[in-house]
Every structure is written in structure tokens, then in C-alpha cells.
Amino acid sequence: MAHAIAFYTLAAFILGFAILVVTTKDTVHSVLFLVLDFLFVAALYVMLNAPFLAVIQVLVYAGGIVVLYLFVVMLVNLKRPPEAHSDPHRMTKFGFGLAGAVLIELGAIVVSGYMKAPAVTSPAQNLPVSGNTEQVGWLLYTNYLIPFEIASMLLLVAMIGAIVLAKREL
């Protein structure tokens, strides 16, 4: 029961802040709403027994990426409102409609899946370590070592690319 209450509360906050992020006019406000949204998502992770992911969510997203957004928003001091010019060719309504259609489809799928029997809870795979963080780390450094290295390489490349792009004169 408490679980349900917590879920619905968090879901409401998440969706609400997401809608605010999308709809707010002021960029800084939407950035703030994004941070809040991430925080609630982190709370959801905690509820899903993934404290490590929750902390990483806060640490990386809220503490790193969004700060980056905030930087950019501050560096980009616009003379005129950012969305002044609107191209006549954009198909906004079609986009809305299509998004709604996809939502309905996904809902149909999910609900039909919900009509079926709930997914079986398979027993936990036996990892030599216990505890969420240890398990994630174990998998990262054993089975998924190569993807991990690739991800690190991707981050390195992204860092260099960001420097090259943002620096005025190299």
C-alpha cells in the first residue's frame, strides 16, 4: 500500500515536472524543473532497490550534466527571445498527433501485457558479491568490461569534441 502511494506520488511528480520542463518558457526554470525531475527519478530508483543508480543519477545528471546545461544557458545571453522565429514548414500539430498515437499504441501494448499474467520473478542470478553497488561493479568489470571500456573511450572522445567545438580559437 505504502509502496503504491509512493509510486503514484513519485510518478505524479515526475510527469508533472517533465511537463513543466517541456512547457516552461524560461530556460533556467525548465533547467530547474529538470533537476527536480531527476531527483524524483532518483527517488524512484531507490524505490526500485537501485540505490547506486539513484546516487549516480543525482551525481552525474543533477550534479554534472544539468550544471553544464545551466552553464550554457548562462553563457548564451540572448538579445531576443529564443523562439521568436518560427519556420512555416514545421508540422507541430502532426507531431502532437503522432506522439499521441504512439502513446496510445504503447499504452495498448502495455495494457494488453498487463491483462496477461504478470511477468514471472526469476530468481536472482548468483553473483559472488552481495549489495547493489558491488553487484553492478562486478558485472561492469567482468562481463561488461569491453562495453565499459568503449563507454570510457566514448566519453573521452566526447570531451575532446566538446573542447574543440566550444573553444573560440584552437
Partner 1 sequence: MKYIWLIPLLPGLGAAINGLLGIRYFSRKASGAIACTMMLAALGLSLVAFWQMLGLPADARGVDVVVAQWIPSIPLATSNGQVGMFGVPWGYRLDPLSGMMILVVTGIGTLIHVYSTAYMADEPRGGVARFFCYLNLFCFFMLNLVLGDNFLVMFVGWEGVGLCSYLLIGYWYEKKSASDAGKKAFITNRIGDWGFVLGVFLIYSTFGTLDFRAVQNAAATMPVEAMHFGVLSFICLFLFVGATGKSAQIPLFVWLPDAMEGPTPVSALIHAATMVTAGVYMLGRNAVLFSHAPYVMTIVAIVGVLTALMAATIGLVQYDIKRVLAYSTVSQLGYMFTAMGVGAFSAGAFHLMTHAFFKALLFLGSGSVIHAMGGEQDMRKMGGLKKYLPVTFATMMVGTLAISGIIPLSGFFSKDEILFQAFVHNKVVWVVAVITAAMTAFYMWRLMSMTFFGGYNGPAWETSSHAAVATAAAHHVPHPADPHAHGQAHKDDHEVSHGPADTHGHDDHGGGHGHGPWHGPHESPTPMTFPLMALAVGAIVAGLVGVPIAMGGSNAIEKFLEPSFTASESAVAGEGAAKGAEASAEAASAEHEAEPHVSVNVERGLMLFSLFVAICGIAVAHKFYVKNPEISDGLAEQWAGAHKVLSNKYYVDEAYDATVISGTFAAGKGLWTVDRNVVDGVVNGSGWITIISAWFSGLTDRTVVDGLVNLVGRICEEGSFWFRKIQTGLVQNYALLMLFGVFAFVSIYLFMR
Partner 2 sequence: MIDTFIIPTLKILIVLNATLVGVSYMTLLERKVIAWAQSRLGPMRVGPQGVLQPIADAVKLILKEDITPSKADKWVFTAAPVISMVPALIVYAVIPFGPVVRLFGRDVSLYITDVNVGLLYIVSVASVGVYGIILAGYASNSKFPLLASLRASAQLISYEVAVTLTLVSVILMSGSLSMVSIVNAQYNAHVWFGFVQPVAFVIFVIGSLAETNRAPFDLPEAEQELTGGFHTEYSGMRFALFFLAEYANMIVVSSVATTLFFGGWLRPFPNVAALHFLDVIPSWTWFLIKSFVFLYLFIWIRATLPRYRYDQLMRLGWKVLIPVAILNLVVTGIVKVMLL
Partner 3 sequence: MPITPTHYMLLSAALFIIGVIGVMVRRNIIIIFMSIELILNAVNINLIAFSDQLHNVIGQVFAVFVIAVAAAEAAVGLGIILAFYRNKESVNIDEMNLMRW
Residues that bind partner 2 (CB under 8 A): 26, 28-29, 32, 35, 39, 51-52, 55-56, 58-59, 62-64, 67, 70-71, 74, 131-133
The reply on whether position 93 binds partner 1 by CB under 8 A is: no
Contact residue for partner 1 among 65, 101, 154, 162 (CB under 8 A): 101
- Least Å distance, CB 129 to partner 3, is 10
The answer to whether residue 94 forms part of the interface with partner 1 (CB under 8 A) is: yes
Spell out the alpha helix ranges (H) of the chain: 2-23, 27-47, 51-56, 66-75, 92-115, 132-141, 145-166
Contacts of 58 (CB under 8 A, 6+ apart): 38, 39, 42
Rounded distance between C-alpha atoms, residue 133 and residue 146, angstroms: 19
Per CB under 8 A, 53 contacts partner 3: yes
Q: Note whether 82 binds partner 1 by CB under 8 A.
A: no
Min CB(125)–partner 1 separation in Å: 29
CA atoms within 13 A on the CB side of 8: 4
For 49: left if phi > 0, alpha if psi spans -120 to 50, otherwise beta; the answer is: left
Work out what residue 121 binds among partner 2, partner 1, partner 3, none; the CB cut-off runs from 5 to 8 Å by kind. partner 3
Residues contributing to the site for partner 1 (CB under 8 A): 87, 89-91, 94-95, 98-99, 101-102, 105-106, 108-109
